[in-house]
Structure 1
Amino acid sequence: MADDRVKRFREITGASEAEAASFLGSRTDVEACVNEFFDVLASGGGPPPAEPEVRAPIAPMEDVMLPPEAAFPHAIPIVVDNLRDFRVESEIQTARQEAALAGGSDEASKRFEDLFRPPIDILFRDGDFTEAKEFAKDENKWVLIDLQNSKVFLSVVLNRDLWQSVSLKSYIQEHFLLTQYNIESVEGSKLQRLYKVEDTDFPHIEVIDPRTGESLETLGGEGVTLEPVYVTAFLKAFIHLNGSPDKFDPPKKVTPRDVRRLLEEERELQEAIQRSMT
């Protein structure tokens, strides 16, 4: 039973076996321990002290304690992914498991929704994709599709790290109509097939011509982190090359050079502002 508690705690939190055993102690309510563990981490502190537990002496044994390759640690590649936020990933996993364990309780669902709430203040919410295209055409704006895959962290995290950028929001509202669909929904699944988006193509953003539905540009891809500064520069380059839909003829593709030029201009502008302030 003790091993089951430790295993379950480790699966949710990512803690080591020693940390999990030490933290759990003799407590049996694993879910309560998990919540307490994440609450303390979120507040900036370390894990709370575990309940004291007196362990029985370990019986002597003879066995192979390590696999042969572990005897040569330099032969084992160590991979560090600086783009991942493991604490947030653990929170996502915990929220989902809490919702499942509680039968989809309101409290567990709300916790997950608050972490990665869609940018409803700039999203089109008055109809399906066909109606979004018609609305964008009337407004003379391009359509942005954020096609989300809830199983891909870099796709889900766009709601927290990309769409909350004030400068990006302002530029989108001026020139684009933002739509968002999950591939598990009927509309999202249809768009995934229409634009031939593979399961490895996430995060995934498309720039769409509202008159024809043609995909003009794609942002993202497997393992790609979409930073607000880069996405803003990319969209500015697109507008600079193509203008508005009513003046669009023929499409011009954004190149890395276009984006670098705008990023450099933005950097120089910020430096000039800093100099003027000092």
Structure 2
Amino acid sequence: MSDKDEKVITFLELTNSSDPEEALLLLEQNDWNLENSVNNYFLIHEDDNKQAASSSSPSKSSPINSGEGGNVYYDDQDNVRAPMTAYTDTMIDSNDVYDQFTGRAIPANRRRPQHQQRNNPFETFRNFQAEVKVPSPTAPTRKQTQLAELFKPPLDILSFGSFDTVKKMAEQKKAFLLVNIQDVTEFDCQKLNRDTWSHTGLKSYISNHFVFWQVSKDSNEGAYFVKIYPVQQYPYIGIIDPRTGRNMINTQGKFIDSDQAYSFLQKFVTSKEQPLDETDSKDVKRQKRHTTEEEELEKAIQLSLQGATNQNKQDDQDEQDEQDQQDEQDEQEEQEEQDEQEELQEDEDLSMYEKEIVVPPPNATPIVDETIGKVGDCVIQVRLPSGEVLKGNFQSTDTVQKIYYFVTVKSGIKNFVLMTPFPRVELTGELISKTLQQNDLVPRAILTVKDTP
């Protein structure tokens, strides 16, 4: 007898099995390991052993709970469950809660708050007394309210709206526009609201002489202002002429108290006249001349009446009156001629001024310098009529004339005028001899070229 046959016989004895083929199959699957084969056999026939043990119990039907309140019986012979009892139920809304005690739905509006519901496993660990003492995150604390009141903007003297809107307001009021650009991350800006703009006397002075506009640099209007004006540091305080949009004067990057602000504004107001509606000097002079003619005519009528009522006077008195009237007429004609000469002179001056504005310096000899447009802390971009953009670096002390030479050298254009895009100002006349700093073209600016005949 071989070793394999002995293992088959031992397997049958240990498992009490009568199937040699099954024993041979399990031994071959487990590489003739007797212990593993026996364990696999009992694992396979474990359900059969349980079924045999249950079949040895008395044969009768046993009820079990179906979980729905009724009894369900099993047939021991076929092991088939009896059919479930039919019942009727009502579906509830997903927002309602089912009360397991009453069997009825609880609407959402009558439901207890979640902190009172018992089915939350974390309810036991919550400290409701401590939660009541903690303020709501949406309600500001007393300290926050005091700080907000302390650093609030001067709303009673501010004007609101876009930059164009407040410029029109200032122009209608015939006042300059006072602009304050703030950065919320700079404490000096907050100090301006707390210490400077809150001063009662300064408020009154600003209301009488300016239209006050305050915005943040992060707002749309603030970003627009920073884009078109040379704002480098914060807080920024500037005065704008509402008629031309010119930046008259500014201070930036430092805090100024109420006394310094009052001195800054008063010095500007006393040195500059308030914006007024433009009037035609010729119309004023014509009106003055018409008034003079009416006065002279009235005098002539009075003299005539006086002569008519005093016919009995001596002839020498009549001659004296006529002489006086003739002198007055001569004086009137002389005054008219003088006014006409002044008008002609003004027309000639205006014509020469307009000619100086429209036509740039004729046939200016370009300065051939290799360093032109390459050295300086100011970046100037010049857009040509062809769409090409010239970019050069200049010193803040350079004059506008040097930019004219730079454009002539680089593009070959001779008859042209340089203009700022906003506000639209032609850099001609006296502006040519001024520096870039004086023309508010630092640290960077964009100019356009306008061809002239």
Report the structure, 1 or 2, having the larger helix content: 1
Report the structure, 1 or 2, having the larger strand content: 2
Q: Which has the higher contact order (CA 8 A, sep 6+)?
A: 1
